Amino acid sequence: MPRPLAITLNALGLYAIAVVLAAAFAAQLLLHELPCPLCLLQRIQFALLAIGPIMNLRWGPRPSHYGLSLLAAAAGLAFSTRQVLLHILPGDPGYGSALLGYHYYTWALIAFGAAIVLIAVMLLFDRQFEPEQSQEAEVAGIFATAAVWLVVALTGLNAVSTLLECGFGACPDNPVAYELFRR
């Protein structure tokens, strides 16, 4: 895989992460469903999953960058698996509303599993790790730069909403209101 294709695929990965973060944030705002602590941990892991592609866009693809994303995906997989197991009993309505028959945490489990597989596939292509012929620094185009800033903005918005929801203490298990607005 040539280096420019790897850069493009990393940018597309960032857009996919942005879609996940935006969908979760939209459900929170439009459906008035506050995320539980495990949901917040999964959002954090999606934001951390973006670190590898961002570093690949900035400094060029490296196995260590992909490794950071693999660690984030593995942790996210663990958190989402935990939440799926909490709601797996018959008759349990789950937490939040469902999208296409699955709750957000089930979609997160699928997404983290897919991320692990896709990152592993990306690591199979060694040519992307070869140094460029020119010694100039890797410069991402507007497509990649927009992806980075979109993920950064959505992460910031999620951080602000988490502060509003939880305040400066521990987040409630079943949140019903924004804590900072209740004070």
CA 165, CA 9: separation in Å to the nearest integer?
A: 34
Q: Count the Cβ atoms, other than its own, within 10 Å of residue 182.
A: 8
Our count of domains for the chain comes to: 1
Specify the pTM. 0.88
Structural domain boundaries, residue 171: 3-182
Please check the confidence at residue 44 and state whether its pLDDT lies above 90: yes
> pLDDT tens digits, residue range 164-175?
998 888 888 888
> pLDDT tens digits, residue range 49-74?
999 999 999 998 999 999 999 999 99
Please check the confidence at residue 145 and state whether its pLDDT lies above 80: yes
> pLDDT tens digits, residue range 103-137?
999 999 999 999 999 999 999 998 888 877 654 44
Domain harbouring 37, CATH code: 1.20.1550
Q: What is the dihedral sign for C-alpha 141, 49, 13, 126? A: positive
